[in-house]
Structure formats: C-alpha cells, structure tokens
Structure 1
Amino acid sequence: MPNPPATFALIGAAGFVAPRHMRAIQDTGQTLLAALDPNDSVGIIDSYFPQADFFTEFERFDRHVDKLRRKGRPVDYVSICSPNYLHDAHIRFALRNRAHAICEKPLVLNPWNIDGLHEIETETGARIYNILQLRLHPSIIALRERIHRDDTSIRDVDITYITSRGNWYQRSWKGNLEKSGGIATNIGVHFFDMLSWVFGPVRDSQVHLSRPDCAAGYLELAQARVRWFLSINADHLPASAREQNQRTYRSITVDAEEIEFSGGFTDLHTESYRHILSGQGFGLDEARTAVETVYQIRNASPQGLRGDYHPFCAQVRE
C-alpha cells in the first residue's frame, strides 16, 4: 500500500514566499492541516488547501497542533515562512511537537543558533531542513560540476541581484536590521550559499557598501574571486532592464561568461520538498556556511569604493 500523505502545518501564511510552500505541499501530494499568521490576508490558502485550519494567534495555533498530536493525527512537518528573526523560535516549536522543520532562508541570523538547534535535533530525533533551492537549479549544478572538473583554476565571478521594492519594505520587518539581518541576509543568503557550494569555502570577505537599500562587497573563495552587488532600489537597475520595464535583474558571470539561471525559480521549492520527503534535503551543517558568511558581512565595517569593488557600486549615490 502507498504511504499516506505527510501532514503539514505552516507558519507565516501571509508572507511573500508562503504560496511556494503551499504549492510544494500540494504538488508532492501532501496535506496542509493548519496555518498561522497574525495577518489574516491569506485567501491564497483557498487555491491550495481550503480545508486547512487557520489561526492569527500563536497560542491557539500551538494548542491546536498539540491537540492533533494527542488525538493521533500529529503534524509531520512544520513549514516556516515567518520573519527571519523568528525562525529559531519556530523551528524549536516544530521540534518540541516532534515534527520536522522546513525553514526558509536564512535558517537563523546568528551562527551560534545552529549549535543550539543541533542539541534539539539530538534530543527529539526530528530534523531541520533549510530551503537552499539554488543547489537544485540545473544551471548551477552544471556550473559546479564544471568547476570541480578543473579544480586548479581561480575564477573571476560577478554576481548582481536587484529586486526592486517599494517604500513599504523599509517600514516592514524586512527593513529592520535586527529582524531581517539587512539586505545581504534577507535577499542574498541563498546566493552566498550557492557561491560556497560551487567554489568552496570563504577565505576573505570585504564589504564596500552597506546601506538600507543595497550592499556590495568582495569574497575570496577557494576557487573564485567574487564581486557581489545586492539591491532593492529600482534606480540601480541597468538601462536594459528599465527599458523592458523589468523590476528584477539577476546576473552571474564566471570569467565574463553569463550563467543563465533566471528560469525555474518558482519550481525549485517543489523540488526541495521532493528531496526532503525522499529522505534527503539540506540540514543544519549545509546551512551553516551561508549563515556565517552573512553574519560576517552584517558586522563588517564598509571600506568604501576601494580595492576590487563591483562596477555597479559606482552608480550608488549618497
């Protein structure tokens, strides 16, 4: 007989990324039992699991999940799409209920939080998984294989990611450094994970710009010299993107060769869930390097436009 569907609860149902998790749960044939968000603008649930119970108060959600467990229908997984600073607490909630946690990136904001989560994994036997979807992107997998075939070369890499955001961004938790970790953490952590996964461990890190709307710096990895630029400011978009009314611009070049990876982003969450449900998935040890990298960037003193800085830095106005 086929295995029954796994049961899920979801925290952060009104968030930007939550629909990708709902779709992944549905596309893999699983069931969403309950969802939580203090904001009740969650009509998107109707497109996926209209029968799921919904709560705006954590205490009632906590009670409901506990009752399900005591009635013999426990939650198997908790998907966590809440603000970054709450991830650690919500992961702990999942494991206390003997459920596995599937958490959006960044897994946590501080490297030492991972050590504490390791202890809880050992105590409960439940697992913690991080969504590191670029590791599943075919173009990135192909790049990694190519780099590993020639492990003696040091590549010159430029990574540029601009995702335009309106005034609301800075007034939300995302604009609060203590809650989001800032630009490099909130929109860049999966790129830093990808860079280390492809090119090896970080040997040096410099920050040239660190502002509420953009950040830029230089990383030296085992097999790459990386200039990176991240922004939420539409004024930083290149002319080619503005002419086509594009609000987002992604580019990775390796030795001046463009790596095409723009397509397939939305499907990668479903692939991530398939990996997790099949007994794979990326756990605490895989998440650690990126958390350490963005923590170092967040706490570094920007040195200004000196050294080998990303060319987009020149257009950033004070």
Structure 2
Amino acid sequence: MSSSSLFRYFIPSHALIFSFLTLISGPIFSFSFPALQNNPNFDSNIALFGDAEIVDGGSSVKLTRPLASSFGLVTYNKPFKFLEPQTTSPTSFSTDFTFSISPENGDGLSLIVYPTHSASKFSGKTSFGLSQEIRFLGIEFDTSMDAAVGDENSNHVGVDVCSLVSARISNVSSVNLVLNSGVKLRSWIDYDASSKRLEVRLSELGGVRPYKPLLTYPIDLSEMWKGEEVFVGISSSSGNSSQTSSVYSWKFRVRNVQSWMHSQPVDPRGYSKPGSEQKTAHKKSFCPLGILPGLLFVIGCGALVAFSVMFLWTVSVRKYTMIPTSHSACPVNFRYEKINVVVEDSSEDVKN
C-alpha cells in the first residue's frame, strides 16, 4: 500500500471529503480525472484509493501492482442510502463490471459496500484492505487458499457480511471458469430490496448474461445500514504474491422501490419511469378490443337460443296442416277422425 498522502488530482464535490480523510488518516486517495470521465465504460463519479491507477490511456483501472501486499480500490464517488427516511422506500442496486486477475495466488478482488465514515479505516495489510472496524458487505471473487478466512478452494465467489469468512460461497468451476486465468470476465450483481435477495452472475467477456445466478443470498441491507450513507467500490489485494487485478468497465445504478410494490425483476438493462405502470393499466381498461370476445360470446348464445326456439316450434306444429276451403279464404283445421260403420243384417226382409 502507498504511504504518500499527497493529492494527484483535484475535483470538487465529494472529493473534498476524501481529502480531509486523507490528511487525518494516512492512506493515499487518488481522485477521478478526465481520462476516466471521458470513458463511456465507467461512471463519471469515481475515486481511486491506494495503488489503483489509470492505465492504457484511460481505458482501464489497474488495482494492484505486481508486488506483495499491494492494495487498490476504485469507489463510486456518490453516497446513497438503502432506506430513505422521508419516503421509507428501500433502495435496490444493479451493477456490472468486467475484470481480469493474473494467475498468481493472491486475494483476487471484491465488490464492497461500506459506510462513508469508514473510508479512512482501509488498510493494505488485510484482504481487500478491509478491517474489523468496517461494517461492510463484500462479494468476493477469491483466488486465495487462506484457511484462516475459511476458504475451501481458490476459485470461488463468496458473500462476506462484516467478516472475511464467507457466509455463502459458490465454486466458479461449476460454470467452467477460472478467476485467475488472466481472461477478461464479466459479472452482474443485483440486490432487490422488495424480495431482500442478492444475486451474482458471471460469464466470460462477450458471453450473454446468464439466466441462472451463480450465487444467491437472502439479506436485508436496509436493516443492516438503515438510513446510513454508504459507498460502493471494487477492491483488490495481492496478498503475499505478485498478483495484479484490473477493471475494464464498471456501471452502478440504484433505484427506489415503493413498499407497496411486489418484487421487481433485477435487471440493470432498463427501468421504467415512476407512474408508467399505472398509466399503462389505465389505457388497457378502455381498449375496444378488450370487450370483443365477450360481445361475440353473447351474440353466439343469442343465436343458439333463437335456433332452439324455432326448432321446438316447428316440431310442435307438424301434426297440424292448414288447407283452404272453397267457401272461405280462411284456413281451417283438417284432421283425421275415427268413423264407426254399422252394417244391418237385411236377410229377414228379403224372406218376407
């Protein structure tokens, strides 16, 4: 970790806060500058800590140097809250970034969320610069074999909650990837506040976003930090190796979810404007095509009833036939009746 506390660059806004923390704490903070602000692959408001530096003409951020105990951090330089006191609306976030890790056996890298007042407590002597004084959430892409922090293998993604011992891990080998292969990888990390669910996806750069998450974890971040302001960053440390980690793109987005809404899909590729769902539902209720199936059903039932009535009427009157008479133009009923014929025996009259 660098020991100098001089500024490399100056920018307004939250950089002043970082400047003050630098003077009283010691770790080096290097701030965003036009090379990254003009890069569409990065958000404009970012700050660099420790050994992190811009390389390749501003196309990427190199977090660690090829030296033992190297530490670097890139932070989204805009604090946010997981629970807004005024609206009681919990905050969700979505982020995706591309990175690579060299083949050495270092600590890898981690996406971390931490309180703003903890910015001065990072140290390069521990994994990802984190200390026990920092109340943090970490999603680590771990390449170490350190039994002291509970690592079972050197190729896994883990969720760390205020501890470097992962609360849950998933082996990256299950998706045929190796974290420290030097290959560029892309990760999507989403937190949905309404379902209190964290999801992590991973693929090789150029691959599609996986439908099934590599790792899921239930957690309520609004309860963890309540209305406290937090930062989000990507941290890396080389451990006792010369491992280097680089970040080639990073986008981070937050959104508020109303408490009465059901769980929303966690997808960073698009979000609707507030109230758009209600407008859509209102328009659909007045759509003329919506009543067409019901109208056709009523017409069909009416036709069926009319046909049935005509059929029954025809059957009931078939036994009657109407014929006209010569004396009247009015029809009369004609029907067959049984006639009894009596024949008298006249044989006695003949004899007489």
TM-score by length of structure 2 reads 0.26
Q: Tell which structure's C-alpha radius of gyration is larger.
A: 2
Structure (1 or 2) with the greater helix fraction: 1
TM-score (norm 1): 0.27
Is the strand fraction higher in 1 or 2? Answer: 2
